[in-house]
Structure 1
C-alpha cells in the first residue's frame, strides 16, 4: 500500500443539507466549563437535584417484575405512535389547560428535539420561509437549518413577537410555512407572552392563515402563577404543539411528544418511523408507571420552589454587582434562564475567555439569532448553581464587564 493513499481526497460526498449543519454552540462551550473550579452558568440542563431517583428505581422494578408480561413488552419493539397510557395522559393534561386533544393526535417522540426534527422534515422545503422570534431557541435553528429554509426574524420584545412587527415581516414575502414560538419562559430570554399579547398575535395568525409551532418545554416551571392557556387551546387546527418530560422528570429519558392536527399526524408518524421506528418502550413504560398516581402533582412544585429561590438569588446578585454598569437583564417569572444585554460596544463572545479565566462561564447570545445577532447579549442559567455560587459568579461577571468598559 502506498503510504500516501491515506492522504488522498475522501471519496465521500456530503449532501447539501449536511453542509448546512453546525455544531451546538452551547455544547462547544460546555467543553470549556469542564475545567475544575469553573462556575457554569452556560448549560441549559435541569438541576440533577430534582431528578426523582427513588421513584424511577421503584418504577423500573415494577416494569421489570419477574415473569411479567409488561416486562417482556417493555423490551420488545413498540408502536410508533407511543404507549397508549402516555398518549392518554398527555391528552388529559392538555384538557386541563383548555385544549381539546384526542390521544390519536399525540405522538411520543425521543425528546422534544426530535419533534422539531420531524416538523422540519414534514413542513420545510428548500427555500421555504420560516418565521422565528428574535432571539429564538438554538436547537430549533439547528433542527430546521438542514432543510434549507429562509429564516425571517420577527421583531420581539419582553412580551415576545409583536402584532405590528409580525405584520411588517409578513408584508415582505410569501406566507411562511409556519412561525416557531416559545410563549412560556422562553429559551434563551426567559420572557413570557402575556394574555393580551397572545390574543393580539393570534388574531394575526388566524387572519392570514399562518400556522404555529408552539414549543412548551418550560411551561410547568412557573414560580408564582401558571402562564396563560396555550395557543393550542385557542386555534387547534392551526397549531402543532411540542412538550417534554425532560424538565419535569429527567432529560436522560429522552421523552417528549408532539400534538398535531389530524391532517398532519400521519406524515409526522411516517417521518418518525423513518427516523427510529419508535421511542424506547422501556422508557415510556417507566415514565407511565411513575406518573400514573399523580406523582407530578407532588413533584413539580418542589422543582418550582427550588428554581424560584435560585432565580431570586441571581436577580439579587445582578442588582448588587451590576449597579452602575449600564447592564440590562430580564426578570423571568418561570423557567431556567436570564438574558443579559451588556453595554454598547461590548461583545459577549469576546468576553467569554476572560470570564472563564475569572472562574465562570456563560453562553454568548449571538447563536440564538437567525440573523442580525446582537453581540452584546448572553444567556445565564441559574438552576444548577447554589445561591452562594450564583452570588460569586455574578460578582466575577461584573468584574469582567467593569474591566471591559473602563
Structure 2
C-alpha cells in the first residue's frame, strides 16, 4: 500500500469558498431559451465586461509589445516596474499625503497576494487578528492559513464599531493586525466615518497593532464626498492596499501596497520567495494607460456612472417589489448592498437555495463570518447586471419568497 505524506496542520483552517463557486457559475455559458431562463447573478462582485477598457488595452498592448517587448516579456524587479511605482507613488502622495513613497511601495499579484504576504510575515499560530464583521471572504481565507485567532468586530451604519474594538483592547485583547475595507466594504457596502478613521488610527498607535486598509473600491464613489484614507493619519501604523482589478481589469492581476518602512523590506523578501515578481507585461500595460491622466479620469467617471445606475436599479426594485420582505441601504459607491431578510420570513440560506432554483444567485450572510453571525442577511452585488436584468433578478427573488411561503 502506497503511503502518502500528511497535510500541513495549517490546512485544517482552509475552507473552499462558495463565492469562488459562484464566480465559476457566472462564467459558465448561459442556458439557452429551450433549457430554461438565463441565469442572473447578484452574487459575485465582478466587474462587468462593459467596464473593461478593451480597446484602450489593445492599443496599449500594441505600443508595449512593439516598443518595449524585451522589458515587458522579461522578469522584472520584485518591488515593481519603476514607471508604475512612480505613477502609483504620485497618486498616493496626493490621496495619502505620503510625501516620500519611495521605499514603501510594492506591486503585488492582486491585493489578495498583499493580504497573504502580510499574514505570512506577521502572524504566528495563535496570534490575534481583528477583522470587521461581516468581513471580506478572501481576507478570512488568507488569514486563516496562518492559524491566528480571528476576532470579529461588528460593523454598523458607520463602519467598524471602533468603540467595541476599544472595549476589547481595554479588557486585554492584543491583536497584531486589524483588517478592514473602509470604503464601500465588501460585503456590507458601508463606509467608515471620518471620526472612526481617526479613532482607529489612535488605537493602533496606542496598542501597537498594524491596520490593514484594503481599498479596492474607494475610487468608485458615485455619491457623497471622499474621505481621507486611514493611512493619511499614521503612515507608520497602516499598510494601504490598492488594486487595479476593479478600476481596469481583474485579469491583469495587479495590485499594490504602501507599507511602513519597517515592514516594507520584509514583505519584499517574502514576495521574492512567493513569485519573484508580478507579471511585467501587465504592469507595462497599466503604465501605458495611466500615463494619460485625462484618459484615466474619464474612464473612472464612466465606471462611477455605470455603477450608480445599477445601484439605483437594484435598490429601487427591492423597495418597489420586496417591501416588507427584504431591506437594503442606499450605497454611495462600490458594488454591494447588505440586504436584511425581514421577519417573519425565511433565513438567508433557505432563500439563497430557493433563488438558485429560480436561476438567480445571491450569497447568504454567514459566508462572511467565521461565527455564522448573519443568518438573516444576503450580500447583493449590482455590478454584473444591467438595470433591466437587475429588476428581473429582484422579480425572481420575489418568486423565491413566494415559493417558500407556499411550502410553509
TM-score normalised by length of structure 1? 0.93
Q: Which moved more, 1:202-211 or 1:91-100?
A: 202-211
Residue from 20, 27, 41 that aligns with 2:20: 27
Cα distance in structure 2, aligned partners of 1:397 and 1:10: 50
5 Å matches for 1:153-232?
A: 153-232=152-231
Paired residues in the alignment total 395
1:35-86: CA deviations, max 9, x gaps?
A: 6211111111011101111111111111111xx4x21111111110100111
The 3 A distance-change label for structure 1 pair 16 and 53 is same
Cα distance in structure 1, aligned partners of 2:349 and 2:380: 14
8 A contact 1:351–1:400 mirrored in 2: yes
1:121-157: CA deviations, max 9, x gaps?
A: 0111100000011111000011110100001111220
Residues 1:39 and 2:40 are matched in the alignment: yes
8 A contact 2:354–2:403 mirrored in 1: no
Q: What residue is the counterpart of 2:55 in the other structure?
A: 54
Cα distance in structure 1, aligned partners of 2:25 and 2:245: 24
8 A contact 1:189–1:379 mirrored in 2: yes
Q: What residue is the counterpart of 1:82 in the other structure?
A: 80
The 3 A distance-change label for structure 1 pair 360 and 10 is farther
Cα distance in structure 2, aligned partners of 1:226 and 1:97: 13
8 A contact 1:307–1:336 mirrored in 2: yes
Cα distance in structure 1, aligned partners of 2:389 and 2:157: 27
8 A contact 1:99–1:236 mirrored in 2: no
Cα distance in structure 1, aligned partners of 2:372 and 2:382: 27
Displacement of 1:370: 3.0
1:291-333: CA deviations, max 9, x gaps?
A: 10112111110000010000000110010011132x3222210
Residue from 4, 7, 24 that aligns with 1:14: 7
Cα distance in structure 2, aligned partners of 1:403 and 1:71: 57
Q: What residue is the counterpart of 1:380 in the other structure?
A: 380
Cα distance in structure 2, aligned partners of 1:249 and 1:372: 33
SS of residue matched to 1:184 = coil
Cα distance in structure 2, aligned partners of 1:89 and 1:212: 24
8 A contact 2:201–2:237 mirrored in 1: no
8 A contact 1:135–1:370 mirrored in 2: no
Residues 1:250 and 2:249 are matched in the alignment: yes
Cα distance in structure 2, aligned partners of 1:172 and 1:187: 29
Displacement of 1:103: 2.9
Displacement of 1:402: 4.4
Cα distance in structure 2, aligned partners of 1:181 and 1:370: 15
Cα distance in structure 2, aligned partners of 1:174 and 1:339: 28
Q: What residue is the counterpart of 1:127 in the other structure?
A: 126
Cα distance in structure 2, aligned partners of 1:221 and 1:390: 19
Q: What residue is the counterpart of 1:400 in the other structure?
A: 400
Q: Which moved more, 1:373-382 or 1:141-150?
A: 373-382
Cα distance in structure 1, aligned partners of 2:219 and 2:41: 24
8 A contact 2:338–2:377 mirrored in 1: yes
Q: What residue is the counterpart of 1:281 in the other structure?
A: 280
Cα distance in structure 2, aligned partners of 1:32 and 1:244: 24
Q: What residue is the counterpart of 2:89 in the other structure?
A: 91
Cα distance in structure 2, aligned partners of 1:317 and 1:45: 21
Cα distance in structure 2, aligned partners of 1:298 and 1:32: 32
SS of residue matched to 1:236 = coil
8 A contact 1:154–1:169 mirrored in 2: no
Q: Which moved more, 1:183-192 or 1:153-162?
A: 153-162
Q: Which moved more, 1:99-108 or 1:145-154?
A: 99-108
8 A contact 2:129–2:176 mirrored in 1: yes
Cα distance in structure 1, aligned partners of 2:155 and 2:371: 13
SS of residue matched to 2:145 = helix
TM-score normalised by length of structure 2? 0.93
SS of residue matched to 2:76 = coil
Q: What residue is the counterpart of 2:71 in the other structure?
A: 73
